[in-house]
């Protein structure tokens, strides 16, 4: 159905999107690479020059960097584990014939629509606050001391907040996949005397595999960039206890005002993300019908 001219018109129509995304990708990246080799601190703007790999080596020598790497890994891994496992359980539960399924879905999906700063500040203040939080009241009711969540367990608190935000997404996708399943196979297995556990293990789980993969892939993209939740609650602290790689770079740029160093951190983050992305794209490519 394509004449020469319609092909040309079609290419022309893709051009703006491609051009914009190319600029969006390349200009900042080239600038970041340039600054990453420069000495450039906003506090002493007159002292500039080339510094070789100094900005990069600072990261690899800094214990904060390795801590941030560990925290980033803990955040992504922790949230993925929590949301996938709970998501499967909740999807299986909601998929049962229950009364009021429409309202139920609305309740379950609600956290996903809460913007990160709101989710973080509500959970931090109304729930996790050591004096006025609801969790503190529960602790006191049971006769124990309130837990200082943000101070003693900052990373776990952030993981908890982010998991709450992303649980609905995982649940909804897994539920959608469950609902596309034919009941005949399950009924046949039930008649043959297969236990609930083996029905789950051998029929339901394999069917959900594609959806689980998609949940992991998409969530990883978003989780690698988590920022607002940390900015709102712990600000990466106490010390650097809840500083992730994005937040460490942010601190170098905005707090330390060291442009060169932050740029080097940015390049490290881009390289790491690309390594993850290669695996992700390979996995996701199989599941997208482009």
Partner 1 sequence: MARAVTPRRMILTTIAAWGVALVIAFPVIWMILTSFKTEASAVASPPELIGASWTVENYVEVWSRSDYPRFFWNSVVISVGSTLLGLAIAIPAAWSMAFVPGKKTKDLLMWMLSTKMMPAVGVLIPMYLLFQRLGLFDTKIGLVLALMLMNLPIIVWMLYTYFKEIPGEILEAARMDGAALWNEIVYVLTPMALPGIASTLLLNIILAWNEAFWTITLTTTKAAPLSAFIASFSAPQGLFYAKLSAASTMAIAPILILGWFSQKQLVRGLTFGAVK
186 binds partner 1 (CB under 8 A): yes
43 binds partner 1 (CB under 8 A): no
- What is the smallest separation between the CB atom of 117 and partner 1, expressed in angstroms? 4
List the one residue from 81, 140, 209, 255 that touches partner 1 (CB under 8 A). 140
35 binds partner 1 (CB under 8 A): yes
188 binds partner 1 (CB under 8 A): no
100 binds partner 1 (CB under 8 A): yes
Q: Which is nearer to partner 1, 120 or 155 (CB)?
A: 120
Using CB atoms within 10 A of its CB, is residue 253 exposed (0-12), middle (13-18) or buried (19+)? middle
115 binds partner 1 (CB under 8 A): yes
48 binds partner 1 (CB under 8 A): no
Q: Which is nearer to partner 1, 127 or 155 (CB)?
A: 127
80 binds partner 1 (CB under 8 A): no
Residue with the two structure tokens 């993969």 = 213
- What is the smallest separation between the CB atom of 184 and partner 1, expressed in angstroms? 9
132 binds partner 1 (CB under 8 A): yes
Candidate segments 4-12, 51-59, 77-85, 193-201, binder of partner 1 by CB under 8 A: 4-12
49 binds partner 1 (CB under 8 A): no
**Residues contacting partner 1: total by CB under 8 A:** 115
Site for partner 1 in 236-265 (CB under 8 A): 245-246, 249-250, 253-254, 259, 262-263, 265
Candidate segments 8-16, 47-55, 62-70, 77-85, binder of partner 1 by CB under 8 A: 8-16
């Amino acid at each position: 159905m394509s004449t020469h001219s319609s092909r040309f018109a079609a290419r022309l129509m893709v051009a703006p999107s491609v051009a914009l995304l190319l600029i969006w990708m390349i200009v900042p990246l080239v600038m970041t690479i340039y600054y990453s080799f420069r000495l450039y601190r906003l506090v002493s703007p007159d002292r500039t020059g080339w510094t070789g790999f100094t900005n990069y080596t600072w990261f690899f020598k800094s214990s904060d960097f390795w801590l941030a790497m560990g925290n980033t890994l803990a955040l992504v891994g922790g949230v993925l584990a929590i949301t996938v496992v709970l998501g499967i359980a909740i999807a299986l539960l909601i998929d049962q014939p229950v009364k009021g399924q429409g309202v139920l879905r609305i309740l379950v999906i609600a956290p996903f629509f809460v913007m990160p700063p709101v989710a973080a500040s509500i959970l931090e203040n109304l729930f996790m606050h050591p004096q006025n939080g609801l969790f503190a009241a529960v602790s006191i009711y049971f006769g124990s001391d309130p837990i200082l969540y943000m101070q003693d367990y900052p990373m776990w608190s952030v993981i908890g907040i982010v998991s709450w935000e992303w649980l609905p997404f995982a649940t909804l996708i897994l539920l959608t996949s469950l609902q596309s399943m034919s009941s005949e196979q399950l009924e046949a297995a039930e008649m043959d005397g297969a236990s609930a556990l083996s029905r789950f293990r051998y029929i339901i789980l394999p069917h959900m595999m594609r959806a689980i993969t998609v949940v992991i892939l998409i969530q990883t993209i978003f989780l690698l960039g988590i920022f607002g939740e940390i900015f709102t609650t712990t600000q990466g602290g106490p010390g650097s206890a809840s500083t992730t790689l994005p937040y460490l770079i942010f601190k170098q740029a905005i707090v330390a005002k060291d442009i060169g160093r932050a740029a080097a951190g940015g390049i490290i983050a881009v390289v790491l993300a690309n390594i993850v992305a290669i695996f992700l794209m390979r996995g996701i490519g199989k599941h997208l019908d482009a």
